[in-house]
A and B are shown apart, each in its own frame.
Chain A
Amino acid sequence: MNLKLKIWRQKNAGAKGNFATYRMEDVSPEMSFLEMLDALNKKLVEEDKEPVAFDHDCREGICGSCGMYINGHPHGPVPAVTTCLLSMRYFSDGDTIWVEPWRAKPFPVIKDLIVDRSAFDKIQIAGGFISINAGAAPEANSILAQKKNADAAFDSSICIGCGACVAACKNASAMLFVSAKISQFALLPQGRIEAKERVREMVEKMDELGFGNCSNTGACEAECPKEIKLTNIARLNREYYKAF
């Protein structure tokens, strides 16, 4: 298929960016979106032009590195996939595809489609951990956890921190990410010990970094490639009020 790409180009963090138009011919529907960009970059290099910078690592949908805003959706229009797993078969011959970086004040653009997502790391460092003595692996059944809580904690823990929730939210809120990180600990006995400090510190950091406020629109849940649920945000709210 033949495609017209409108891609955000920005030399560096301080430079003014703009959209550049590229035409791609004979794109195979079996390619992933990133493979299509690889093909574009190969073409650009051969033409002695600057390739498009974009983040990627595992290309298996689990590292959370790739993140592009494609045709009005984070990770493109297909639900529950990351950009690396987005297949070109979902596009049609003659399509114009808009490709933009995540847009949020705490995620400044570094270059082209790459944004600095270290704000998420800062929130994690503020409290997204449990303090334990490292050493030999403890006996698995010495601290009992209910199966349903363990399952729910696991469902929250699969958040890959890609930032699609922030990108999708009209307020650039990080509540879904923070709520997933809170929930994965709050539901397990090991996480209860520091639960109050954790939620206070992580919310304080989230506010300090300039993320917007959740207005319960549900865009984050709709766009999350790992299908993290809004129930996590309700749990975060509960945990926060309990921490007073």
Chain B
Amino acid sequence: MNKILFSSLSKKFVMALAGLFLLFFLPVHLIINLMLLKSNPEPFNRAAHFMATFPVIKIVEVVLLLAIIIHITWGILLQIQNWFARPVGYAGGNKSETSFFSRFTIWTGASVLTFLVLHFFNFYFIKLGFVPGNPDDFYSVAHSLFKVPAYNYIYLTCFALLGLHLYHAFSSAFQTLGLNHRIWTPVVNVIAWVYAIAIPAGFAFISLTLWLFR
């Protein structure tokens, strides 16, 4: 049974499910972040408070953290196995036609992880009490962060790379789950494009607005 639970396909199955859950979470996060554009801090702080205290959301938060941990752990482990599977590379290069961004998923993922660590220090660890700060006024925390040019550079770069990660990840998750269909797979691929552009663009819009126009 262990062999089945920890086989390459099972790891990828769990990774795909965790990834899809994260894909559902991102638009929710974006909608809340859009409240940062309001001059009144109340709606954003209320939403943040609701997300931090509502019991059902607390359960979702645990699932979300598990999804992040599993997705990252399995992703790194599978990649290490992949590197071991080809100890000697090709002198003539690898010129096979592939979906371009799929070649760099581990690196785009690594940049997202770097941002996630920064993001946890700036917000989530304040909420948990690990880092000093006021968890009831994340609006001010966010506004002050977006005034720092270096933070915006990192933020915008990471979200651009997240877009590349999402484009491959979205359609790849469906293939991994075995959900391939003559009609629906092309539709999923189009949605993947739209999602991979719209979500990072939404976050980037907030960053640029607060940095340059407020």
Q: Is B53 an interface residue (CB 8 A)?
A: no
Knowing A215-B172, A222-B98 are in contact, say whether A237-B9 is a contact too (CB < 8 A): yes
* B92 close to A106 (CB less than 8 A): no
Knowing A103-B86, A171-B86 are in contact, say whether A234-B175 is a contact too (CB < 8 A): yes
- Scan B1-32; emit 1 where CB is below 8 A from any A CB, else 0: 00110011111110000000000000000000
Which residues on B sit within 8 Å (CB–CB) of A172?
A: 82, 85-86
Query: How many positions in chain B have a CB within 8 Å of any CB in the partner chain?
Result: 40
Instruction: Give, as a whole number of angstroms, the nearest-CB distance from B145 to chain A.
Output: 34
Knowing A207-B7, A215-B105, A240-B9 are in contact, say whether A234-B81 is a contact too (CB < 8 A): no
Which residues on B sit within 8 Å (CB–CB) of A105?
A: 84-87
Q: Is B183 an interface residue (CB 8 A)?
A: no
Q: Is A4 an interface residue (CB 8 A)?
A: no
A-B interface, 10 closest residue pairs, ranked by CB to CB distance from nearest? A72-B95, A234-B180, A98-B92, A238-B178, A212-B85, A171-B82, A237-B178, A219-B96, A172-B85, A212-B82
Q: Is B111 an interface residue (CB 8 A)?
A: no
Chain B residue nearest in CB terms to A109: B88
Which residues on A sit within 8 Å (CB–CB) of B90?
A: 69, 72, 100, 103
- Give the docked Cα–Cα distance between A233 and B91 (Å): 29
- Give the docked Cα–Cα distance between A216 and B185 (Å): 13
Chain B residue nearest in CB terms to A199: B9
Query: How many positions in chain A have a CB within 8 Å of any CB in the partner chain?
Result: 50
Which residues on A sit within 8 Å (CB–CB) of B92?
A: 6, 69-72, 98, 100
Q: Is A203 an interface residue (CB 8 A)?
A: yes
* B95 close to A106 (CB less than 8 A): no
- Give the docked Cα–Cα distance between A236 and B88 (Å): 28
Between-chain CB contacts (< 8 Å), 11 pairs = A71-B95, A103-B89, A105-B84, A106-B85, A216-B176, A217-B98, A218-B97, A236-B9, A237-B176, A241-B177, A241-B178
* B172 close to A213 (CB less than 8 A): no
Which residues on B sit within 8 Å (CB–CB) of A87?
A: none
- Scan A163-187; emit 1 where CB is below 8 A from any B CB, else 0: 0000010111100000000000000
Chain B residue nearest in CB terms to A238: B178
Knowing A103-B89, A219-B96, A231-B180 are in contact, say whether A213-B102 is a contact too (CB < 8 A): no
Q: Is B40 an interface residue (CB 8 A)?
A: no
Instruction: Give, as a whole number of angstroms, the nearest-CB distance from A201 to chain B.
Output: 10
* A234 close to B102 (CB less than 8 A): no
Q: Is B39 an interface residue (CB 8 A)?
A: no
Known: A100-B90, A218-B102. 18 other contacts (CB 8 A): A69-B92, A77-B95, A100-B91, A103-B88, A103-B89, A170-B82, A170-B94, A200-B4, A204-B4, A210-B84, A212-B86, A215-B78, A215-B105, A216-B176, A218-B99, A219-B98, A237-B13, A237-B175
- Give B contacts to A, CB under 8 Å: 3-4, 7-13, 78, 81-82, 84-99, 102-103, 105, 168, 171-172, 175-180
Instruction: Give, as a whole number of angstroms, the nearest-CB distance from A101 to chain B.
Output: 9
Which residues on B sit within 8 Å (CB–CB) of A71?
A: 92, 95
Knowing A103-B88, A207-B8, A238-B178 are in contact, say whether A168-B96 is a contact too (CB < 8 A): yes
- Give the docked Cα–Cα distance between A231 and B86 (Å): 25
- Give the docked Cα–Cα distance between A239 and B82 (Å): 23
* A216 close to B96 (CB less than 8 A): no
- Give the docked Cα–Cα distance between A172 and B96 (Å): 13
Instruction: Give, as a whole number of angstroms, the nearest-CB distance from A202 to chain B.
Output: 11
Chain B residue nearest in CB terms to A79: B97
Which residues on A sit within 8 Å (CB–CB) of B12?
A: 213-214, 237
Which residues on B sit within 8 Å (CB–CB) of A69?
A: 90, 92
Which residues on B sit within 8 Å (CB–CB) of A19?
A: 91
Which residues on B sit within 8 Å (CB–CB) of A200?
A: 4
Knowing A105-B85, A212-B82, A215-B172 are in contact, say whether A72-B179 is a contact too (CB < 8 A): no
